[in-house]
Amino acid sequence: MSVFKGFSIKLPVYTVITPQTGRSFDVRSLTVAEVSKLKSSLVTPSRATIIVDNMLWDSIDSKPEGWTVDIFKKNVTIKDREALLYGLYHVSFGDSRSISVYCTSCGQQQTIDIKLGSHFGMEAYPGSAGIKNSYIVGRASGENPIDEEIEVSIKKDQLKKSKTTAPKGMPAEIAATENLDISKEDEEFGVVNKVETAIDAPSEENNSDNIIDKVLRIELPISKVFAYVKQPTIADEESLLNTIPYATKKQSDVSTDTLIIEKFEMIKPDGKSEFVVNRQDIIWGYEELSPLDRDEIFKTYNENFGKYGINLNVGFECKSCGAISTNDLDITAHFFRIIASS
């Protein structure tokens, strides 16, 4: 008698480009067992997030050489994860969906049928090596239209390269005069490079301005405190969630919101700086701020980091009042909803 050892099924695969770090991953479909495991993890939001992160890593078909799950988590941002979740959702549950939307004019809720893929859009961070390389190839073959943001980023790389290769005795700035304006622009923004970099992986992108290494120092208008704003990775999020395992959805949302703040800096009367670096202290400090200070933090984040990601804008005509509305679907919420109803 033969013993059944399981099918050898080749599960379908979906290729995802991460919008912020510009990497390409092949995500394979979840199995029935994995969906059940996810479903039983939905009790606490912290737990569910960590299980999804691990499952994303498991579902990547050809993993980058030398990578472990920890390296993966340090090199994938929270915005990148949305793209990966979209791929996982699409490849596991298909493209056709009945979704519930709200009319932005009369507020009525209704159900419409859509093809997810036809609403998918992505804005890629122009600084990542992967995005720049494919852009250069696309431009050379005449397929890509000129993208000013990526052009600026490529010029910055050339400036960095010429700085390191400038002949002795010649200031690098003179060797690359035409690009000077770009580095000045960065100084105005207060771009500082993190001393300890998040990347443990063998790095092939020394010349690119990796979004994970970017930190902006901004002065808050009311408190005059300086906030250091960055793009958190899923490792940053997990280390926070591990400290609040029983948090409700709302509590964990407020806490993860503050992850975009790396630290605060206060200038004391004697002119010396004092830094707030402990995560719990950052959350307390954040809660004491004026809403205007908070808005400044989120505005800086959105303009420099948050706008790079995927979007799923669904336009529809209201069955009740006839107005045309657009809803931006939250892929993470949709992903968990479909898991819960499977």
Residues of this chain that interact with Zn ion (CB under 5 A) are 103, 105-106, 318, 320-321, 323
**Residue 189 Cβ vs Zn ion, minimum distance, rounded to whole Å:** 42
**Residue 330 Cβ vs Zn ion, minimum distance, rounded to whole Å:** 21
SS3 220: coil
Q: Of the candidates 123, 185, 192, 182, which has an alpha carbon nearest to the alpha carbon of residue 154?
A: 182
**Residue 298 Cβ vs Zn ion, minimum distance, rounded to whole Å:** 29
Distance between CA atoms of 6 and 217, rounded to whole angstroms?
55
Our CB check for Zn ion shows the closer of 106 and 137 to be 106
Structure-derived torsion over alpha carbons of residues 207, 209, 213, 218, reported in degrees to the nearest 10: 140
Our CB check for Zn ion shows the closer of 109 and 141 to be 109
Our CB check for Zn ion shows the closer of 226 and 316 to be 316
Residues 262, 153, 80, CA angle at the centre, nearest 5°? 50
How is the beta sheet containing 309-317 ordered, strand by strand? Answer: 120-123, 309-317, 324-328
- DSSP 8-state secondary structure symbol assigned to residue 8: -
**Residue 107 Cβ vs Zn ion, minimum distance, rounded to whole Å:** 7
What is the separation, in whole angstroms, between the first and last Cα of the chain? 35
Our CB check for Zn ion shows the closer of 212 and 318 to be 318
Our CB check for Zn ion shows the closer of 108 and 239 to be 108
| Residue at token pair 């510009």 | 22
**Residue 299 Cβ vs Zn ion, minimum distance, rounded to whole Å:** 30
CB 324 within 8 A of CB 315: yes
Q: Of the candidates 112, 62, 117, 122, which has an alpha carbon nearest to the alpha carbon of residue 94?
A: 117
**Residue 101 Cβ vs Zn ion, minimum distance, rounded to whole Å:** 10
**Residue 100 Cβ vs Zn ion, minimum distance, rounded to whole Å:** 14
Distance between CA atoms of 102 and 327, rounded to whole angstroms?
7
Our CB check for Zn ion shows the closer of 323 and 340 to be 323
**Residue 97 Cβ vs Zn ion, minimum distance, rounded to whole Å:** 21
Our CB check for Zn ion shows the closer of 100 and 278 to be 100
Our CB check for Zn ion shows the closer of 101 and 116 to be 101
Inter-axis angle of helices 148-165 and 129-140, nearest 10 = 110
Structure-derived torsion over alpha carbons of residues 28, 34, 40, 41, reported in degrees to the nearest 10: -50
Query: In whole angstroms, how far apart are CA 135 and each of 121, 127, 156, 280, 329?
Result: 17, 11, 15, 41, 28
